[in-house]
């Protein structure tokens, strides 16, 4: 059983849902980013999503776009993110680490080399935003195994037949996008989310985590009552951006994580 499966099993036993925390790796620089990431993991993040900085994002909203830009200015690339993964793994032996990327950086790195290096560094999964199942074989055919979970995205507009097709090629968990739009946008409708989750559960037993637009403990509690986990990214990155010069930035982020994690505990 890999770290992702172990985490969901442990959380089910504790009647908790997974808090998946996204952060742009290397924002605002590698050393500060590592301090922030360590604080997040110590404060309750169950699964860490490390965003690979990319110059031309399509699904990320302005907050994450700016965080990615700061990391790029600091010279962070996919190789640096892999090395960050290695360092994080030295401190957190059991926290699953998902690398979140667009396909261009992975392709430029080399599909086979990336797979080998990511696993050696301690990564557990990969989520590529712009690589649908129909286009994935050129990447996965160069992987020497299936030890790296391939997280798949499901949109709120995805027909049920396609949900089943996407789910069949996924492992680790499924990332259900809460609504049409980009990360960090407003307008969370838990009624719609509940219906999307029901439809998706009817075609898969893979854990379902919901992301986009979840920013407060209240949001977390509302979504976690239906899903297996929640993904928060823009809210964490917004806090980082607003406190770049604040010496209390690490403790402020840790406090935010603790509040969101507390909201994942089942109350009944």
Task: Tell me the C-alpha distance between 59 and 155, whole Å.
Answer: 11
Question: Which neighbouring-strand residues pair with 175?
Answer: 153, 209
Task: Determine the number of helices (DSSP H) and then strands (DSSP E) in the chain.
Answer: 12, 8
Catalytic residue among 27, 60, 124, 237: 60
Give alpha helix (H) positions in 102-233. Answer: 103-109, 111-121, 137-140, 160-168, 190-201, 217-224
Known catalytic membership, residue 49: yes
Residues 193/155, Cβ–Cβ less than 8 Å: no
DSSP character for 227? S
Catalytic residue among 16, 27, 46, 49: 49
Task: Tell me the C-alpha distance between 119 and 86, whole Å.
Answer: 9
Question: In terms of residues, how long is the chain?
Answer: 268
Compute φ and ψ for 21, nearest 5 degrees: -105, 120
Question: Which neighbouring-strand residues pair with 128?
Answer: 101
Residues 255/44, Cβ–Cβ less than 8 Å: no
Known catalytic membership, residue 248: no
The tokens describing 54, both together, are: 């990319």
Report the SS3 class of residue 156. coil
Active site residues: 49, 60
């Amino acid at each position: 059983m890999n770290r992702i499966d172990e985490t969901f099993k442990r959380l089910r036993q504790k009647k908790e849902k997974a808090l998946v925390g996204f952060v742009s790796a290397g924002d605002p620089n590698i050393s500060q980013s590592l301090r922030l990431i360590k604080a997040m993991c110590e404060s309750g993040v169950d699964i860490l999503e490390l965003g690979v900085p990319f110059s031309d994002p399509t699904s990320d909203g302005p907050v994450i776009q700016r965080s990615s830009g700061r990391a790029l200015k600091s010279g962070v690339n996919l190789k640096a993110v892999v090395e960050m993964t290695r360092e994080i793994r030295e401190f957190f032996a059991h926290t699953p680490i998902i690398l979140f990327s667009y396909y261009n950086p992975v392709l430029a790195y080399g599909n086979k080399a990336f797979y080998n290096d990511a696993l050696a560094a301690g990564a557990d999964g990969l989520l590529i935003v712009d690589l649908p199942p129909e286009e994935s074989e050129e990447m996965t055919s160069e992987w020497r195994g299936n030890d790296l979970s391939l997280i798949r995205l499901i949109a709120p507009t995805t027909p049920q037949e396609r949900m089943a097709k996407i789910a069949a090629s996924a492992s680790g968990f499924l990332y259900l996008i809460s609504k049409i739009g980009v990360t960090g946008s407003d307008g969370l409708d838990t009624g719609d989310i509940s219906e999307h989750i029901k439809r998706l559960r009817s075609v898969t037993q893979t854990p379902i985590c919901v992301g986009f637009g979840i920013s407060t403990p209240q949001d977390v509690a509302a979504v976690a009552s239906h899903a297996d986990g929640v993904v928060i990214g823009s809210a964490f990155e917004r806090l980082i951006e607003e406190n770049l010069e604040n010496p209390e930035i690490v403790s402020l982020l840790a406090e935010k994580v603790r509040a969101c994690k507390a909201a994942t505990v089942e109350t009944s």
